[in-house]
């Protein structure tokens, strides 16, 4: 029996990685799913081949794979016993259905490869993240401040960097407000917003997104925004990622339209 909305609290020590990333091709970015980062939860131990845990874990991953990924988000747990496992999986806001399913398959294979037989871990790709843990918690989830990292383009913008940073930050703040508004039915928050704007001769593309079971989307995005500003003001592109929320801006289109 699989249940939704029971999740782990992350016990991995806090650190932010400033990883320089330059992507030479917009086409390749849109059509591929680049590996970004991972963390193995070594404190949760490993399972043995053929064990009950392995069978339960394989059953849960198959259950998640059967999802239609209509809204790009899955939060599922297999039990509350000693073999309990919770999977949190979310795709980028422009990736859902078949594209999201492909990212899930990629992320699961990547997790098995990079954290072999670990009972817990997180792996991030350009279009999704997968969070596996033995430690459960009930939704709505609290913000996970620990498992986060930053990435940025190694190049600075040309010209007035202060003006660029101010306009970029103002635009990200506008998107944060939009993501925290109710959907068209007035039932749930959007949890996602994207857009573009001109800054001189350049066109800025940006997005913000929260996990759909998060208790406080706005607070998460505002905190992530501050962390991004610390490392990446004036860069031609940057992003801040975690398991609760993420935001990103670039001077080239990186989202599906």
pLDDT of 81: 76
pTM of the model: 0.86
pLDDT of 187: 60
Scored b (16 or more CB within 10 A) or e, 26-41 reads eeebeeebeebbbbbb
> CA 20, CA 33: separation in Å to the nearest integer?
17
pLDDT of 21: 44
pLDDT of 229: 94
> CA 16, CA 246: separation in Å to the nearest integer?
13
Domains by residue range for the chain, with CATH: 3-12+33-133 (3.30.430.20), 149-250 (3.30.430.20)
For each successive 10 residues of the chain (257 residues), what is the average pLDDT? Answer: 32 38 41 87 96 94 94 89 90 93 97 98 98 84 96 94 96 97 73 96 97 96 97 96 98 90
pLDDT of 185: 66
């Amino acid at each position: 029996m699989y249940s939704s909305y029971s999740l782990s609290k992350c016990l991995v020590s806090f650190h932010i990685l400033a990883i320089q990333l330059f992507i030479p091709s917009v086409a390749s970015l849109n059509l591929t799913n680049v590996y970004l980062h991972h963390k193995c939860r070594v404190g949760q131990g490993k399972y043995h081949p053929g064990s009950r845990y392995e069978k339960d874990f394989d059953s849960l991953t198959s259950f998640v794979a059967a999802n239609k990924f209509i809204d790009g988000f899955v939060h599922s747990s297999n039990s509350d016993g000693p073999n309990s496992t919770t999977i949190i999986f979310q795709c980028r806001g422009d990736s859902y259905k078949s594209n999201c399913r492909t990212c899930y398959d990629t992320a699961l294979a990547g997790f098995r490869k990079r954290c072999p037989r670990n009972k817990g871990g997180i792996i991030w790709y350009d279009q999704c993240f997968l969070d596996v843990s033995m430690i459960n918690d009930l939704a709505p989830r609290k913000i996970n401040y620990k498992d986060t990292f930053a990435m940025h383009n190694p190049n600075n913008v040309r010209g007035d960097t202060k003006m660029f940073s101010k306009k970029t930050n103002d635009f990200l703040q506008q998107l944060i407000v939009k993501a925290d508004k109710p959907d068209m039915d007035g039932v749930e928050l959007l949890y996602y917003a994207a857009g573009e704007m001109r800054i001189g001769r350049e066109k800025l593309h940006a997005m913000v997104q929260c996990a759909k079971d998060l208790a406080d989307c706005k607070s998460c995005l505002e905190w992530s925004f501050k962390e991004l500003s610390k490392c990446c003001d004036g860069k031609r592109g940057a992003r801040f990622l975690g398991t609760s929320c993420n935001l990103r801006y670039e001077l080239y289109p990186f989202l599906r339209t």
